[in-house]
Amino acid sequence: MNSTLFRLVISQFKLFFREPGVVFWSFGFPVVMAWILGIAFANKGEVMRNVAIVTENPAAVSALPQWLLKKTGTAAELSGESELEWEVGMNKGERARFRFRSMSEVEAVLSLKRGQISLWIEGSPGTNLSYRFDPDNADARLTYLLLETAFREKKSSELKAGIRPLTMVGIRYVDFLIPGLMAMSIMNACLWGIGWNLIELRIKKLLRRIVATPLRKSIFLFSHGLNRMILSAAEMLLLYVFAYFYFDIRIQGSLLALALVFLSGYCAFAGISILISSRVQNTQSGNGMINIVTMPMFILSGIFFSYHNFPDWLIPYVEVLPLTMLTNSLRGIITEGIGLAQVIQPSLGLFGIGAVCFALGLKLFRWH
Amino acid sequence: MTIEVRNVCKSFKDVDAVRNVNLRVESGEAVALLGPNGAGKTTLVEMIEGVQIPDSGEIRILEKSWEKDEHFLRKEIGLALQETRFQDRLTVEETLGLFAGFYGLNQQRTREVLEIIQLESKRATWIVHLSGGQRQRLALGIAILPRPRILILDEPTTGLDPNARRDLWKILDDFKSTGTTLILTTHYMEEAEFLCERIVMMDQGKILADGTLGQLLDKFGEGDLIEYVIDGENPAAEANTLSGVLSSCWDAETGQGILTVNSISETLPKFLDLIKSFEVSLTSLECRRRTLDDLFLAMSGRHLDE
């Protein structure tokens, strides 16, 4: 009995280690991910929390920022395009980092929609100072609490500030979230719907059977893309209808721009999925390949929280990820009301990514 | 000439799967590629199907080549692969309809094929609920959908129970009357004998023998066999002197002996008298005609089902 068990266990180990793909996705992939994410986020210190100081005339050296700066013990002036960073020691040796920018209310609203700031401060020192943020946004709430604690640490007891919740449509956390979820749904529809499907067909040898017919390979691949595009459009529509009725989310911008962004995002991820599925021969490797593409974007592309909280050096790389481009464009159309002209550049980028990946994938594609 | 394979070689890493094979198949012929696993049958038919590209040599089908006339040839060749798992949650009729669409065929042809493969009662059944035999019949149905001039079946009955195998043979036997050229790979000699007039025996990437069953039996071995197992003294030397015995062999360890004879009816009574005179116990006796497996064993030292 023990000998049988031992033999079974040993033979299963042998099967496992004789499949290099499985070994990599089981052992190599988690280590590689830990290394990449560790490099990206280790030793970055406290997250930089972006705060806007809203004044009537942001170009001028206004009273509120100067008063705040005095309280925070920083000497620099804050006006116009300039930014000011404040790192403050908290109790128990912890530190908090803030970056202040002076701007108008209109600019603050836009920055909030884009996730570039967590909250803004407005009003007059000592009287009716207000923190403006969406109480449902956990990140904004944390920024507020840290800022309050920091001011208290600096004994700014005369700072009498209150919270004025931002709950108007367009700048709530849910307004930020829904476009991100739409983008993620497009990515998943392509990578799992097209990529995984093709891998499965290859494993079943059905791919080989199909290409032995007169059906043109391009039509076969196109049919998969078209099918998923229709399903993905239906998914997006359903999500939007839900968001419309339940969260009162309205598309502020051009529907044409929305269609273009959807199409370009879809093309980008369809191309990526063809490339991913071009050579994979078993489910473990397929699963790993799809995860290696989706996971970093899932974390970095600002679906659930703003990527502006990541280290500054990382942000330019994050912004060229297809999911980031798609999310930002969808967010721009839905919450900011941007039009066709503003989405042409990211859409071209997405079409380009799709075309390159599709061409490469088709070249590498193994039909049997 | 329907298929012409000239000096074709194919290797995978350090394995020579097909070694300098030459094969000509005329229109309407039914040819069985017979050999054990690893003989090179599948690689050879995959090259004929245009799935694999030969390392060297040339393959011409219907006077055309895969490089120049792929689209034409795809329409003319129907094939059933060794193992294809169709989509579990499509029905039989939907699956046939899908493939019919690839060939530009209408629903009428789908219904005809459903009848040919005897799956009308399962037309609305999901593939996942079909038995192994029914799935193989569906694979055959897809292969014959376009009324192909060449039908290639790669081990179509492997893994099926004897009843399912016979059902498939019957369908194929009926289909042969349409004049389609049939190429069948198998390691079942009964299948090759039943379905094909011509048998090509392969082993280790080479063709060992090629001909009709009668030609092969005449060329590579004559006589019928008396196989016996005895418990006691060896009578092989005496048995060899019996009239009509062509050869004999004996395994002392197992007590098993084989006599090759001109005529079983002539030699068997004499052999039984001999056994009686030796006063040994006969534990097993089988008289049979020589089979393809015997020929294959003689040529390659291996059985077909290895």
- pLDDT number for residue A193: 85
Which residues, in sequence order, are CB contacts of B218 under 8 Å at separation 6+? Answer: none
Q: Do A280 and A353 sit in the same domain of this protein?
A: yes
The single-letter code of the amino acid at B68 is K
Closest Cβ opposite residue B99 in set A204, A205, A213:
A213
Q: What is the mean pLDDT of chain B?
A: 88
Residue B279 has pLDDT above 80, yes or no: no
Contacts of B142 in chain A (CB under 8 A): 209
Q: Do A291 and A354 sit in the same domain of this protein?
A: yes
In whole angstroms, give the CA distance from residue B34 to residue B193. 10
In whole angstroms, give the CA distance from residue B9 to residue B185. 18
A288: pLDDT confidence band, cut at 50, 70 and 90? confident
Closest Cβ opposite residue A212 in set B74, B83, B85:
B74
Which of A320-329, A355-364, B3-12, B226-235 is predicted least confidently? B226-235
- pLDDT number for residue A57: 62
- Distance from B82 to chain A by nearest Cα, in Å? 10
Mean pLDDT of B264-281: 85
Closest Cβ opposite residue A215 in set B51, B81, B102:
B102
Task: Specify if A272 maps to a domain.
Answer: yes
The domain boundary residue, chosen from A117, A132, A165: A165
The domain boundary residue, chosen from A165, A200, A215: A165
Three-state DSSP state, B114 = helix
Q: Do A230 and A278 sit in the same domain of this protein?
A: yes
- pLDDT number for residue A255: 94
Alpha helix ranges (H) inside B64-161: 66-76, 92-102, 107-116, 132-144
| CATH number of the domain enclosing A71 | 3.40.190
Closest residue, chain A, to B88 (C-alpha): A204
Residue-wise over B200-224: b if at least 16 C-beta within 10 A, else e?
bbbbbbbbbbbbebeebbeebbebb
Mean pLDDT of A162-176: 76
Q: Do A203 and A265 sit in the same domain of this protein?
A: yes
Q: Do A52 and A154 sit in the same domain of this protein?
A: yes
Domain ranges of chain B: 3-218, 223-289
Q: Contact at 8 Å (CB) between B155 and B165?
A: no
Is the pTM here over 0.90, yes or no? no
Domain encompassing residue A269: 173-364
Q: For B223-289, CATH number?
A: 3.30.70.100
Q: What pLDDT, in 10s, does the model give residues A349-359?
A: 999 999 999 99
Residue A166 has pLDDT above 80, yes or no: no
In whole angstroms, give the CA distance from residue B203 to residue B38. 8
- Return the structure tokens found at A82: 């300039």
- pLDDT number for residue A351: 96
Number of domains forming the structure of chain A: 2
Return residues 97-156 of B near A (CB < 8 Å).
Answer: 99, 102-104, 142
Q: Do A251 and A156 sit in the same domain of this protein?
A: no
Closest residue, chain B, to A366 (C-alpha): B51
Closest Cβ opposite residue A205 in set B50, B85, B102:
B85
- Check CB contact under 8 Å for B85 and A214: no
Residue A1 has pLDDT above 60, yes or no: no
Nearest Cα neighbor of A50 from A111, A93, A129 is: A111
Task: Specify if A24 maps to a domain.
Answer: no
- Check CB contact under 8 Å for A212 and B49: yes
Residue A105 has pLDDT above 60, yes or no: yes
Nearest Cα neighbor of B124 from B87, B89, B88, B92 is: B92
The single-letter code of the amino acid at A187 is M
Q: What pLDDT, in 10s, does the model give residues A19-72?
A: 777 677 666 766 676 666 556 555 556 678 888 888 766 555 555 556 666 666
Q: How many helices (H) and strands (E) does chain A have?
A: 15, 6
Question: Cβ of A213: how many Cβ atoms within 10 Å?
Answer: 21
Which of A260-269, A282-291, B197-206 is predicted least confidently? A282-291
In whole angstroms, give the CA distance from residue A190 to residue A181. 14
Determine contact: B19 vs chain A, CB below 8 A: no
The domain boundary residue, chosen from A126, A142, A165: A165
Contacts of A214 in chain B (CB under 8 A): 71, 74-75, 102-104
Thinking of the domain B3-218, which architecture would CATH place it in?
3-Layer(aba) Sandwich (3.40)
